[in-house]
Amino acid sequence: MITFENISKVYRPDIHALSGVSLHIRPGEFVSVVGASGSGKSTLAKLLFAEERPTSGTVKVGDWDITKIHHSEVPHLRRQIGVVFQDFKLLPQMTAYENVAFALQVAGAPGSRIREVVPQVMKIVGLGEKLNRFPRQLSGGEQQRVSIARALVHRPKIMLADEPTGNLDAVTAQEILSLLKKINEFGTTVVLVTHDRDIVNALHRRVITLQDGRIAGDAEHGKYHI
């Protein structure tokens, strides 16, 4: 499903964010990528959805070699990878429904599909009754649920969650974790990039640990030890 082959990423003048990283994530896995600030985990996430390109090595997602992906193909790739960020990235002037619908509109989906899909994904994330609320009328956890709904509208094969609980309290973070587990149970591969030790240790799933741009550990039922 996801393969990194001897990936290195160097930023000018001489910052080695990743050095010789190789890993494989199978379809349907739930994998946590952990490490301290500066370990390279955010760079790895950016390489996965083609926001950055590696300096050397190959990144493959399914049949895609995204190391060589053409700029025009990136939007299609990103419909296969739902991305959730720490800061939600919701449009404040749009309702929850409109924020989720917008992801379909920019992809050219017809109105009939939008009217069908958006209520479905909002129900999945537990916000079926709050379609018409603006972001300012929602809690942080609810805003993150909207961003997860937006990531789900294209029925992605992969969900990449980059520090999705970073702005949330412990109870709300656990609720978001439960939602990600539910999405994984539907068959979606989940890649969770986080520094939240409690979240990772509660999962009892595979943990890939990065340290100084290299893989320091890869455990099938791992813990966040660093």
Angle between helices 96-105 and 111-124 (to 10 degrees): 130
Contact between residue 44 and residue 193 where contact means Cβ atoms under 8 Å apart: yes
Answer whether 55's CB lies under 8 Å from 47's CB. Answer: no
Whole-number pLDDT of residue 226: 61
Distance CA 64, CA 7 (A): 16
Cα 68 to Cα 121: distance, rounded to the nearest angstrom: 32
| 45-99 pLDDT per residue, tens | 999 988 899 999 999 998 888 888 888 888 888 888 999 988 889 999 999 999 9
Structure tokens at 222: 């791992």
Give the C-alpha separation, 202 to 119, whole Å. Answer: 30
Mean pLDDT, rounded, for 174-199: 93
Residue type, 129: E
- Find the angle CA(113)-CA(114)-CA(119) to the nearest 5 degrees: 110
| More confident: 226 or 175 | 175
d(C-alpha 25, C-alpha 184), whole Å: 13
Average pLDDT over residues 192-217: 93
pLDDT above 90 for 191: yes
The CATH number of the structural domain formed by 2-219 is: 3.40.50.300
* Rounded Cα gap, residues 157 and 81, in angstroms: 6
